[in-house]
Structure 1
Amino acid sequence: MFGRLASAIGQGHAAAPPSRTPRGAREAAVLVLFDSGRGPAVGDLALTFVEKSALLRRHAGQIAFPGGRVEPEDADMTATALREAHEETGLTPDAVSVRAIMPEVSVPSGYDVTAVIAHSPRAPELCVNDPGEIAAVHRIPVATLVDPAHRLTATLDEPRPYAGPAFGVPAEGARPGVFIWGMTAHLLDTILTLAGLASEWDRERRVPVPRQYR
């Protein structure tokens, strides 16, 4: 799976959109962490997400990949993604291996965001390491994410019209249900597709973004 994903990225199938901020102006990186804690098969993979603190001025309550802006001491985007994941969730960088790096994508906040794709052979030991930034850590099976029943198009009417891929993940055991949309959902949709994991889903199923995730 990771070989297919890296090959697709290398062939330009995940090219960044043409509208970009100047390189170096505002850059950030996120860690897309797959783990095989449920078993060795591709169908057993899970992904790690963080729930942003409700006290944040921007993106409060939203579900995202661990990550943040580049700091001067970061050697590269991989260093940024791993540092931020450690600061937010306590992830030990040595516990993961980097498998691929996505092209930068621009977001409305003015950042160019690089997704660093990594893998852990077991379920990582994670926690809410920075309560000021995140409220919870969610580990969601890939099989749940690619289930067409959980795929939909998220919409917003204000402050400007928006429509994009989303994931309505139901509660399972101790894990609450979550709604993934915006840049995180776009990245997730692209990565799952390039990796050959995505299934066809009803793009006409449109659902307004729940207020708690706006």
Structure 2
Amino acid sequence: MRKIHPMAMRDPLDPVYAALGNTGIASSDYDLNADIALPEGRKLRPAGVLVPIFCGGSEARLFLTKRSSALRHHPGQIAFPGGKQDEADPDITAAALREAHEEIGLDPSNVEVLGCLPAHETVTGFHVTPVVARIMAPFDPRPETGEVAEIFDVPLSHVINPAQYSIQARRWRGTWRKYYIVPFGPYYIWGATARILRAMADAAEKA
């Protein structure tokens, strides 16, 4: 694990390398809700999401999607491109790259995979592996019809800073559920997406 002094940072991806080098623990949508008991032996479906970062000049920016409001699950929410692992996918990284190609038009040949963050368990029963990747060259984002309403980017410096996060709560299945948010402009980034980003921010800070 390489230690990086803040004043010595030159590569805008240094916080990402620091996070990937600092082995953390798996996260969960239930992290802030200790009163919710998870059943033993529960079966989780494997999924992969891409955390695609592009460095333009001295600033790194992270691409995210806004899901279509017509979708049955999580309509209108902010998400990473990605989805469940299909039988044809050789591994979870391949699943994340395939989904990113379909959802935002990012060609896998334009991606350098940097590593994976610890997995995240969602309330919908998925074991999600965040695959962190650098976009090699500018690309033209193309939202998948019917699945993605919008593709946008946020500064990496915003989501890698734990101070940008706060905790909110709402009722879910008859009980109050707490969750992280990291809003940016008009975008309300919360839930699993914010939890994964917060884990990356915490790992970078501790490195």
Superposed pair shares fold, TM > 0.5? yes
1:131 offset after TM fit, Å? 1.8
Match of 1:178 among 167, 175, 187: 187
- Cα 1:31/1:148, change in 2 over 3 Å: closer
Identity %: 32
Q: How many residues align?
A: 184
Match of 1:127 among 142, 147, 164: 142
Show CA shifts across 1:178-201 (max 9, x none): 00110100001111221239xxxx
Q: Which moved more, 1:91-100 or 1:118-127?
A: 118-127
**2:204 aligns to what?**
195
Match of 1:27 among 40, 46, 57: 46
- Is residue 111 of structure 1 aligned with residue 126 of structure 2? yes
- The alignment's TM-score, normalised by the length of structure 2, stands at 0.79
| Secondary structure of 1:196's aligned partner | helix
1:104 offset after TM fit, Å? 2.2
After superposition, where does 1:61-210 map in structure 2 within 5 Å? 61-128=76-143, 130-146=144-160, 150-159=164-173, 160-170=175-185, 177-196=186-205
**2:26 aligns to what?**
15
Q: In structure 2, what is the Cα distance between the partners aligned to 1:82 and 1:49?
A: 14
Show CA shifts across 1:15-68 (max 9, x none): 35696886975111100111102x1x4xx1110101000001110000000001
Aligned AA (2:122):
V
Show CA shifts across 1:82-131 (max 9, x none): 00000011101111111111232211111111110111244432111x22
Aligned AA (1:156):
R
| Secondary structure of 2:87's aligned partner | coil
Q: Which moved more, 1:130-139 or 1:56-65?
A: 130-139
Q: Which moved more, 1:14-23 or 1:132-141?
A: 14-23
